[in-house]
Structure 1
């Protein structure tokens, strides 16, 4: 086969006669196009076709339809000639027409997010030619009505007028079924199908004012441009947003010869996985439908059957069918077409070995011949991701580095959250059974429409079947429940990709959108009623079910061990309590990067003592209150040191302004006045005195310690005494005292002096010593610029990227939500800088601060302790700039550990 590498070309061919691309060209050809070319090169039976590059999509958005058609017309026409030659058909001919599919193909898998058109090239004349050629009139008209329906929806914009309404084409189909007394599409007669075509065209004319196009080339250009348009459709934009994919990637368009799974009982279509996408088990599995087209399987319109006998038997157990009933009602592909099943099994094995990863494949059987339509690295749950990587490593298919690189760090989050408490499940009332499409536990209140998923704090989206338009609601919901669709339906695939609990194909459910009800065995559930979903078993449960912390698998530990083996940067946790510290250690944290002492003051009665200190008019009064706080703080610090057992613990001195600790409600002010035996006026006056117009830039951080050095003295004493007490128990301690919000060397020196004097006093009292460090949090831009000066005295820097982002951008973190979504939508910002570190601006300050600090003190320890420390791209940035550690919330520690290893690799 020829390989053409001219990057100026707009169209690449694939097929038996000529294939221009390969798997390495994913960015240009999209994932689907690159894999179709690769499979063609491997000799796998792929219907021939062409791929219009992602670069054309970008040009289309700039120059429009007419100019784009002119740009690519010649190359497309030449590529169509190759398809015609391979399929022995002619595009646009009446008697022997070439029919095409038009599909999207971004560089990453975006299932259901963009548009597809099948059976393109049919019209009132060519449908007769197809019927005569195949001697199958029903097949021809079934394909034609599908084409009109799909083209009308995708290209001509036919949508329901109201969300409660059904799709206009589906409504027409249901009316026809009711009039005929039938329930399945396969029961339509030829006359039914002809009438549907006429009815569909009439609907299109009424709704759009346009006639359905009959010219195949007009159809083709319309479909290609509709796919390009769908790149910026609402669901694709939202999918990119939640996955962090940039809008400038664009999508490729794949135009491919049609093969037909709806040509009769010896034809079929299906989706299969080389391993279980939910659990990771090494089991070939999938679903198929006899006499159907591919969209039928994933759209959930018909509940499909299992490919393997093993899977079919499992389904029968869920449905409580006998083996005889199962074989009659749900026969597997392995039983119905054993030779073709064996051929499919060989290809799935070949492709998994070739791609060295679990594959998600689509196939069609046309009149007894198997065609492979697509392969891609399959989307999987977090648990499956970990198991598959470890299993492939043990099988010798990949090495340790490849196993780590197969892990998507963010998906580990799925494994770290609660599951149903088994004790609560014993008491639970199971009301129905569906398919365990995506594992996990979800408890919430029923909503029936995706755009209302935020109506309740915890919602369960209940649909007959989901569609790509439901994406945002699926993302917001705690769980997803559908009455139709199998393990490869839209709901199942998208939910697995999101790590969202999903139960699909629960046929016992009767859903009425207009009444907003779900009926199960005569019992009616309404919007707002509580149900629970067990995505691991498929159980649908009445009411709420208690949850518990998950038990992590052995494979999870193996991945974490590998991560630590290859990572060069440490991962610490932000933890304020011994409980959080223990959680962090269980997740593999190698220290505490930030313990916020102010959080300790809000527990129990401590807030009253804190307020007494704030309201004191004299140093003596403040010191009395601080003496009462000392044992409380010391006890907290002892808990942290014990939990970390020899790992460093960075404790930040008091940071927020004092007004955050005083009451602002009149009733609470009265209570405080009574408790402290002072006048209400005195309390009000103090509250008014502490009021600040801009607290973020006000009397806080090191400014508090400089103004009230007795606060720094008390906290230092508590830290050092705690360290000595824990040392006495035989536990190694590594305290690090962090001065917040420093902007000048003099500010740091002022606090350093208080800390050192207090520490020496405690050492003399105890007759013992511990090593400790004094450093600062770099969160003021000036501190980053003056880092070389501050490093003369500081032992370590910890970049507080939360505040550094606020001050660098001039955005209030609490108020940015008012405009942030607009900024992201308009492309003013590529990502929320409070979620993903702004590497160009804030990152430049981090890199500069680290470089300047180490120019003064080469062994300066440098890390970050903002929540960016758990975001993979930010972790990679920190690694690339030589930071010693990142620190994040305890539950994000595993994510950061894998991200740190991947950055090193």
Structure 2
């Protein structure tokens, strides 16, 4: 073994460190320790490569001397983590006139000429950045050298050390380039991430059937499917090939015998078995599924490299679970290996990797998944399309509660305005629908039923598009899809997550369908049921509007009496679906104007339904308008000024409680008051709710209990949590509104400028996408501390959309919260994140040990 301050020969005992030499160098050493047939390899450290970029070259004569005279070398990048990338591999360094002559004697002139020509082309284009077109036609070394000399005005170098110096310098400087730095930083690399390089002796053997030689070529093989993660030998082998040529050459063969064509196993079964054995050893000792790059030299197997097998989200989970089930890694490590957001690729349909993508426009990726369907411009059109069995995508300038039924009917939602916590985004995530919001280039004409993007054709209602909510892209036509995978390894992973997590995970569920989906993901209850979403059915909407137009409390109560049985049935279904688990029901929250039409046709239809003059209906709608309705008469303010609404809802909850309890499911409903900012608000609502509970107990002859709590959405509620907690059994922080009010930002409009703010470092991240720990989080800490001081048994929760983000889960655990609640399709992400944080806090790193 030769070690200098500049480079180290890779042997089983050499001092090779991932943080100093990179991931590839360390992997090659691990292969050497496993006694794999790895060619001679030398590792250059991060510091050496930085010095090369600055013009200081190591002792190349000593380095080349390790390999002996006439050796051909490859140079590969070795970043600390394979995801960070690096410059492409350069093969056949050392190829020159003398080497070509020697190679012609052993391999034949055709092989020697092809290798020499290929190296000259690579050296010119990849190392010296010469115009690739100048090297497309030369098919002999002589012509290639002439093209090189014409461009460089110097002879093609014949000295291996000169060639190697230029290769190393080119790769070192490419790593320091702006584009490379931005690409790796996007993968999480620090700005000062280092690059190592490995120089490896190439294996070249007699070509098949030429000069009496044995089997020679190169290939790449893996033993699981990159799409599914299930056992499957895939890969290609190219006779007389080099490097990874087999993956791109049409003449490449299969690895194992295959009826579709020739395979390496047909002529070299022992070598294929040796690859199987190598895979088994790597899987057990490296504790990972590896993709192997190999060569055959006169029948002798050499393993040049092994990298983590490329994999989809589904394969990621399948591989980790299989390794744990086989005892290769513990369950804790299997959980730690899966980035939580990876699960979105299993929960939703996705555009298949490599599929053709004709991007029409982009927006904010507001809800993950992908869907294809016909464009529709209204909720009614979406419902009609659904009735015909036609998948559709609802396209709106922005959505409102009136669009709820259409959103249920659509396959995906696209809006011109809004951000990650807009109405469209929140509802879409709850329904598990892909959503792209804030697609500002869209030009919608609802009257003509067209949508246009500047420079593209006009799209009409009925035209087909694909929405990729994970990427925030709108695609023309139908894209090839991958279906979700919720069973098998995914289900096992969720069971393991439940074993290790130490915080409750509930779901935000407004309908029986939402609750059923939440149960499928194994939640600990419902943490937020937004009752207003139950009123947007067309039958209920009319009654709701009658209530709004009522002249007095008696008339309002009469209308609400008609809604009571509908609400009661809703709650009965939820209670029975949740089977005794807690259900937190938020009392009515939105301003009343959201239930009223805004266009002329809608106003006329409402006037007919209520048998009132159009002018009177218009006047009433105008009177209900507010300058800033999200800060106006909504939530508890509406409940106090129009108490009949909360009284009806409380009665429906308690009657449903009695009915469900009689069927054998013990129910303790949790009633949550929204938008509280003062203790007196809670006192007033509590007195009313307690009175309704007494009435129902008396009327039914049944006893029951319930818990009353507060949704903390205003900064004042967080600051005054101590006195509010005196009358509340729980505080649930609604981070959507709390973020909006803390920042003074409209969550629906902030998307227009938020990307510029994040890019310029005003905010580290969109606070509606990722919880602001420093600002909003401090308010939550204060609220939690003051609430628990006043009432030690106070239950604490987070029920905003942030609840499904790993950072919010970690924050909530450390703050002593009892649970987080999020949209059903975000539950698996939250559960996995919770398990990972619990495992890390218990000291298991999950690092791979060699």
Q: Name which of 89, 93, 97 aligns with 1:128.
A: 97
For residues 827 and 641 of structure 2, the distance between their equivalents in structure 1, rounded to whole angstroms, comes to 36
2:458 aligned residue: none
Q: How many pairs are equivalent?
A: 725
Q: Name which of 43, 50, 53 aligns with 1:69.
A: 53
For residues 737 and 130 of structure 2, the distance between their equivalents in structure 1, rounded to whole angstroms, comes to 48
- Aligned pairs for 1:813-828 within 5 A: 813-826=747-760
The structure-2 alpha-carbon separation of the partners of 1:795 and 1:353, relative to structure 1 and needing over 3 Å to count, comes to same
For residues 768 and 154 of structure 2, the distance between their equivalents in structure 1, rounded to whole angstroms, comes to 47
1:355 aligned residue: 286
Deviations 1:494-541 (A, max 9, x none): xxxxxx9xxxxxxxxxxxxxxxxxxxxxxxxxxx9999xxxxxxxxxx
8 Å CA contact 2:673, 2:710 repeated in 1 = yes
1:109 aligned residue: 83
- Aligned pairs for 1:163-242 within 5 A: 169=133, 173=136, 191-192=139-140, 194-195=142-143, 198=146, 216=163, 217-229=165-177, 232=180, 240=187
Deviation (angstroms), 1:570 = 1.7
Give the TM-score normalised by the residue count of structure 2. 0.75
1:518 aligned residue: none
1:716 aligned residue: 650
Q: Secondary structure at the match of 2:622?
A: helix
For residues 149 and 642 of structure 2, the distance between their equivalents in structure 1, rounded to whole angstroms, comes to 80
The structure-2 alpha-carbon separation of the partners of 1:806 and 1:393, relative to structure 1 and needing over 3 Å to count, comes to same
The structure-2 alpha-carbon separation of the partners of 1:147 and 1:683, relative to structure 1 and needing over 3 Å to count, comes to farther
8 Å CA contact 1:578, 1:643 repeated in 2 = yes
2:593 aligned residue: 659
The structure-2 alpha-carbon separation of the partners of 1:247 and 1:152, relative to structure 1 and needing over 3 Å to count, comes to farther
For residues 578 and 380 of structure 1, the distance between their equivalents in structure 2, rounded to whole angstroms, comes to 36
8 Å CA contact 2:510, 2:534 repeated in 1 = yes
1:16 aligned residue: 11
For residues 141 and 824 of structure 1, the distance between their equivalents in structure 2, rounded to whole angstroms, comes to 54
For residues 305 and 529 of structure 1, the distance between their equivalents in structure 2, rounded to whole angstroms, comes to 39
The structure-2 alpha-carbon separation of the partners of 1:459 and 1:834, relative to structure 1 and needing over 3 Å to count, comes to same
For residues 749 and 261 of structure 1, the distance between their equivalents in structure 2, rounded to whole angstroms, comes to 85
Deviation (angstroms), 1:596 = 0.8
The structure-2 alpha-carbon separation of the partners of 1:603 and 1:745, relative to structure 1 and needing over 3 Å to count, comes to same
Gap runs ≥5 in structure 2: 209-214, 364-368, 374-411, 413-433, 435-462, 467-476, 840-850
8 Å CA contact 2:12, 2:33 repeated in 1 = no
For residues 156 and 623 of structure 2, the distance between their equivalents in structure 1, rounded to whole angstroms, comes to 74
- Aligned pairs for 1:196-595 within 5 A: 198=146, 216=163, 217-229=165-177, 232=180, 240=187, 245=188, 248=191, 250=193, 252-257=195-200, 259=202, 264-265=207-208, 266-298=215-247, 300-302=248-250, 304-309=252-257, 312-313=258-259, 316=260, 326=261, 330-332=262-264, 334-366=265-297, 368-417=299-348, 447=356, 552-595=486-529
Deviation (angstroms), 1:106 = 4.7
For residues 769 and 301 of structure 2, the distance between their equivalents in structure 1, rounded to whole angstroms, comes to 47
Deviations 1:848-903 (A, max 9, x none): 43333222222222222223322334323323333222222222323322222222
Deviation (angstroms), 1:250 = 3.3
Q: Name which of 788, 806, 812 aligns with 2:746.
A: 812
For residues 815 and 295 of structure 2, the distance between their equivalents in structure 1, rounded to whole angstroms, comes to 50
For residues 732 and 785 of structure 1, the distance between their equivalents in structure 2, rounded to whole angstroms, comes to 35
For residues 263 and 895 of structure 1, the distance between their equivalents in structure 2, rounded to whole angstroms, comes to 53
The structure-2 alpha-carbon separation of the partners of 1:597 and 1:449, relative to structure 1 and needing over 3 Å to count, comes to closer
- Aligned pairs for 1:657-806 within 5 A: 657-806=591-740
Deviation (angstroms), 1:580 = 1.3
8 Å CA contact 1:14, 1:49 repeated in 2 = yes
Deviation (angstroms), 1:569 = 1.4
8 Å CA contact 2:52, 2:168 repeated in 1 = no
1:31 aligned residue: 23
Deviations 1:346-380 (A, max 9, x none): 33222211122222333334555544333343333
Gap runs ≥5 in structure 1: 61-66, 90-95, 160-167, 177-189, 317-325, 419-439, 461-477, 479-499, 501-527, 532-542
For residues 658 and 862 of structure 1, the distance between their equivalents in structure 2, rounded to whole angstroms, comes to 29
Deviations 1:177-230 (A, max 9, x none): xxxxxxxxxxxxx9545435655787x78xxx9999995334421221113327
For residues 350 and 638 of structure 1, the distance between their equivalents in structure 2, rounded to whole angstroms, comes to 56
2:90 aligned residue: 118
Deviations 1:4-58 (A, max 9, x none): 9xxxx9x763513973324xx35x54433432343345444154132443x999x
Two-structure CA RMSD over aligned residues (Å): 4.1
Deviations 1:229-287 (A, max 9, x none): 2764676566x3xxxx3554735242423525698444433222243333333455433
2:553 aligned residue: 619
Q: Secondary structure at the match of 2:83?
A: coil
Q: Does 1:48 align with 2:32?
A: no
8 Å CA contact 1:382, 1:415 repeated in 2 = yes
Give the TM-score normalised by the residue count of structure 1. 0.71
Q: Secondary structure at the match of 2:704?
A: coil
Deviations 1:85-125 (A, max 9, x none): 43125xxxxxx476442425252535xx6531413756xxx
